[in-house]
Structure 1
Amino acid sequence: MTVLNDAEENNKRSILKLQRTARFFEALLRASADGIVITDAAKNIIFVNDTFCKFISCNRHNLIGTSIFVWLEKLSSNANEIWNELESQTKKNGIARDVEFRMNTDSDTRYFTVNSSLLEHVDIEETGLIISIWQDETERILTEKALAGAYAEKMEIFKAIVHTISDAVFWLDPEGNFIYVNESACKSLGYDHDELMKLKVFDVNPRADSARWNAVVRQFRKEKVFHAESIHRRKDGSEFPVEIVSSYIKLDNKEYFCGFGRDITERKHAEEFISRRNIQLRILSKAAQKINTVLEIPVIMQNLITSAMEITDSTAGTAGLIVNEKIVFSEYNENGKLFPIDYVFKKGYGVPGHVMETKSPYISNDARNDPYVIQDIRKTLCFNNLANVPILDRKGQMLGSFQIHNTKKHRQFDHSDIEMLQGLASSAAIALENARLMEDIRKVGKEKKSLSLILDKSLNEIYIFDSEKFRFTYVNSGGCKNLGYSLKSLRSMTFLDITPGYDEVLFRKYITPLIQHKKKKLLLYTDLRRANGSHYPIELHLQLIEQEGSHLFLAIIIDITERKRAEKALSLSEEKYRTLYETMAQGVIYHNESGTIISANFAAQKILGLSPGHLIGRTSIDPMWKAIHEDGSDFPGEKHPAMVALRTRKEVRNVVMGVFNPEVKEYRWIQVNAIPQTRYAETRPYQVYTTINDITELKRAKDEMQLANEDLRIINKIISTATGLLDINQILDTVLDECIKIVGLEGGTICFVEPDETLKLGAHRSTSKETIIDLTTNKIRIGECLCGAAARDLKPLILPDREAVIKFATREATRKEDIRYHAAFPLITRGKCVGVLCLFTRTDKKPDVKKLKIIELISSQVALSIRNAQLYEETKEYALTLEKKVAQRTKQLHESQLGLLNLMDDINKTAVELDKANKRLIELDLMKSMFIASTSHELRTPLNSIIGFTSILLEGWSGELTPEQREHIQIVNTSGKHLLSLINDVIDISKIEAGKLEVRVSRFNLKEVIDEVVSTLKQELNGKGLLVIIDVADMELNTDRRRLLQCIMNLFSNAVKFTEKGEIKIIAKSTNNEIEISIGDSGIGIKKEDIPKLFTPFVRLDSPLTAKTSGTGLGLYLSRKLTQEVLGGTINVESEYEKGSIFSLRIPREVKI
């Protein structure tokens, strides 16, 4: 009993312990911050804590015993799919981890990570229980998204900067492949983005290859930064220098190389220019010393040319002096070799003569076509360009000039060369003055008085002092004047008294080489001290003179104050060149973050016509600005690109606006780009810069071109329509409708001028019945009414209002029309009025004056088209009459022949009548030929006008044409030429048959004619790939060259037309006094039965190529006529069908007229 009680007690204690443990875990699950759900095998909820209830906003009692899908499907569209995946993983693996789940509650979206486990234990009898733990990840995910959005925004800013930067930006991988390139990189290299991304970096670098790139990669990895200058090659093959700055970046264990490339072409040019200028300055300084160290004129001139060639890097040159008002050149330096020449130029003759007139330098970089260059001299000396610089003394008198040449392809001379050469010319002028002065001194010799006179004439200071105490023995007036001492005072002074830069020891050191005769002359640069204590720079030329056993020093001193000032100015000029290199022709304005203008360059000030005071401190919305859109409406300041860029933080490009420029007092059209600039890690711009391009002239040109093109289109349409028709009614209707459209009026008429000088109505639009009856039933003479007045005066009549119309209207029907505007244009051709074009309106509308000018311009062409149509109708009527007469005569002839068979007794009478009929036929045939010759001339005249006007349009005399306009006008031009060629053939045949063909005999070479024929058809030969073999020797002929050319051209063009492949042979042989020219081809040949038809007019033989080739059947007929009746020869043909033909032309060497 006791044992049983103990066992029960132990069981009770175990059960209590288990109950306490279960309550503890249940309390723990209920208090968990994560949602906990236990479901059974049927997916019903058997346990849920308060946290999960909060997640789905539901009471726990409503959840127990229900399917979990009932709740999850309300909150997530894919709940079934996710839960099945969770359950599948749990049952398969016993556990599921980090399954993502998203719930959409009434207020927001929440994100969860679900971990689940299968409850299997020996103490748990029920199977299929799954416990799932729901962790709320909403705050973490939202935080990550916010960080990602901020990162993306910064990336967008970075992309905008990279996209708009003018430098090339690129990312590369270690193999040299492009990972990223910006727009500037594509633009600088000339590739599309996709094209460039397919290349490697050494594909655009002509100096690099894979080995060198690998070396650069190793350097990157070691130093992390790469900075160098290189050469890039564009897509078109051109090369340009670049400055590369790049860095090594490692992301996600991948290596990248990020870099910037800047085109430094302009910088290189500037550096080259500065380097060349510095070299020229050094050469100029040395040259000045070299020229001034000698006093012999020939040596001075030689040194001058040598120095000039060195400064300008030229290959040849010469220097000349003025002698008797002419400039004489006696020596020529080419590549350091001296040659004697003898060229003398008077004023106005050649380039030296031109420089004598102007006393100004002259440059010619195209000596071959320069009007001042003497071409015979140029050919002798073989130079391509030149620069001639005058040598002027201090008074501006010309002492001579020197000219440098380039005898090979070389850079062009420019004004910077002239600046250097002028400095050299100044030194040469001083040296020549000194040399001539020394020559004068030597000539005077011991005559001291004459010497003093000569020395006093010099503008330089001249001193003579002894070699012991350096006391002055002679001072010229120039020295006294410059120093400010009297001659008496200077007589008591020494040379060292006026040279503060030397003491006796130093001065004797310099003059020792002269005393020892080691040097003949000495050149020093120092300062002299005036009597008032001021100093000035000088150039000292010192020479030892031996006179009566004593040593004297001759000092010639040149004041170089102006030269020093010029050198300083030259230095400043060099600085200006650097500044000029840094300036821009494009206007640039900077605005701060509030839109206030803080800076504007000179170009912007000029474009806007405003000073810095009117720009700085103002904003684009300031009421003082006047701006308009392209349609003339106001352009408000808040829509200015700078203000828009500040608001939107985006670039604004290619905005066109008109701004009022107060300086020129008109609106200037500008194209504006605005680019906001932001600091690192900021999104709000701290400033924006705008670029301004003045497009006023471009816009005006485009507007004028558009108007001109529209006018040209209208003119082309009317002219092509009128010239393409021969039906006069179609011409009148078309022209009248188009003219009414052009001027925009409501109606119009076209009247003919009859031979009796009366008007006949041809076409009308919107005309009253009374006026139509009046014009058709009554004879209205020239001078009457509105149309008649224009026909009488042969000039347009413009009546701008009702009163003017009433004044000129002589017909009652016209007065009743209530016409308020009327314009009448006479249609004149060859000085004769053939009709009148009238346009009118009954409203107050007035047409544009330019449109009226178009009507006036095309009136003559309309008149010509009307006249052509009239001639065409007359020709048709006359031809019909001739055909009837010929048919009648033929019928009579037939009847006569029947009568001859039946009535033999009347044979003589019938023969007489037949003879008369034949003569009449001959007369009619002659009349026909004369008629064709006459009418063909009338047709050829307007065709020449059509060809002429269309040629003018094609050559751009009336403005640029669109491709469509050019194609249409080219068709009109080609068709006109073809028709003119046919008419010329008809005229030639008519002239031959009428016996009026003119023969022009001249002496010429046959080979030149053959070459001209082949050259004319070169394009057709090349198109078919035909080989032409010419066996023609030089042969002189005395015959009609034009007709022979015409015959050979016809035969050769036929050979080209009917030969698809193979060759064409042209052979000329001379036998006695005759020439035989044969043209053979490997074409389709001619059937034997067709050969007799070849020379019949208007007959074309049937062949496979007939449909492909054009022709009228007149060529061979005309060629035989010309050969027989003009050239006095014959034409024969030999042909084998499908193998080719040979046409032989045999003519005498000299034609007898």
Structure 2
Amino acid sequence: MSSDRIPTADLLFASTVMTELDREQQRYNALMESGLLEMEQIPPFDEAVQTIVRALDVPIAVVGLLDREWQLIKARALDPQEDLTALTALQRTKRGESFCTHIVETHQPLVIRDTAVHSDFANRLLVGRYGVRAYLGVPLISSAGDCFGSLAVMDLAPRRFRKSEIQLVELTARLAMLEIERLYAPATTTATTVKERPTPEVKATQPEQILSTNQIKTELLDRLLQELRTPLTSVMGMTSVLNREIYGPLRRKQKEYLKIIHDSGQYLLSLVEEILLLRDLNDTSVVLSLTSVDMEMLCQQVLKNLEPVAFRREQQIDIAVESVDRIWTLDKDRVQQIAYHTISHIINAADTGCTVRVRVNRTVEDDMELSVWISHPWLGESLPTGELEIWELPVPTPIPTEEIDETEVTDGDRGNDWDDNASNRQTIELLPELQKMSLDRSRDRLGLLFACQLVRLHGGRIAVQGSPTMGYRYVITLPDRG
């Protein structure tokens, strides 16, 4: 055996060191590419520290990002009743002094009941100069698995952090990172795109200048909407945690108020999603982007977005799609908008306690037919009364309560009756009628008109169909482009 051969143990050690160095380099590169180190203010981090200070009743919460040599403080929340003037001026700590280093290297929370008696941390700067005695820090991990730093809470006296408190800080850290990536990842792409564009000529035409201004305005609106998500997500996360009574039992009124706050946040978030869906739709193009669409999955996605709206009105949404009628060749984005605005319109027009029914089936001409109507305990199956009055259609006679027997009529019976009497249905085309009306500018009415325009672009039609005996429905017919 050669005397200069490197021992296996040394090779393994060198390999481990190189792996750790590679991992740290990858983490640092990802942190630099995120642009977070250059930002002076990061709203999701500010929201996170403020939330945690209030929820855990601690005097100190900070977000720190770890570069190669320093932990940089990017957000802090300090109890004004405590003398924390020295911490106010703290902008960074050396990596070797930072508690955050341990968290980044292990990707695990660091929980210390009393730092003064901890052999590894008793002599750190935070303990000796700033009087920190209890510490809880959790990693800030990106979707790619890179740990950028930590969200930490600290107390000036020894404290045993409960498991529920650790979980809350971890949840807040995850929500903050999700918002960071949602807000700033698109911004990075946009910035790169703008930078790579050639410099426009000085003699730009006026329409091009207007287009540029409109693009900037649209992008600004998009950023504002994205930022609106941050406090909404925090509110919903915190109310959900409190509702689980992690911090002790709640009185009945407290539960009621928390439910109102959570439901309102969910509703606002659904409105933000609606606006962003509109933002993403290229409705100026007449060219269809055709793809295979699973209508059951598409309807379930629409249902998910509209559930908070229906819940506020004590309504349910029932979707029926036959397995043989699921897959169609359509413009997915446009069809999703058509379904969303039509169903949303019915939800807002219907009374409380209704069931909004959505049905997808195949016509005899092999077109896709999407029908929307309501089921009411004593008004039966039809469109909401207000919609019938708009189209000057007869309102169903209320059914006496003693005659109602839901067990006698099934969804299958309703569908069969409707299909068997197709030739007897009255039909009113919506788009020509809406264009003739002096349209009120309510959101749901505009949404219905928007759906009509998208149906027309797709080569289909939307109409009121039915009869006094069968009831009336909004029926959307779209040709299968396959």
Question: TM-score, normalised on structure 1?
Answer: 0.24
Higher relative contact order (CA 8 A, sep 6+): 2
Question: TM-score, normalised on structure 2?
Answer: 0.48
Question: Whose strand fraction is larger, Structure 1's or Structure 2's?
Answer: 1
Question: Whose helix fraction is larger, Structure 1's or Structure 2's?
Answer: 2
Larger-Rg structure? 1
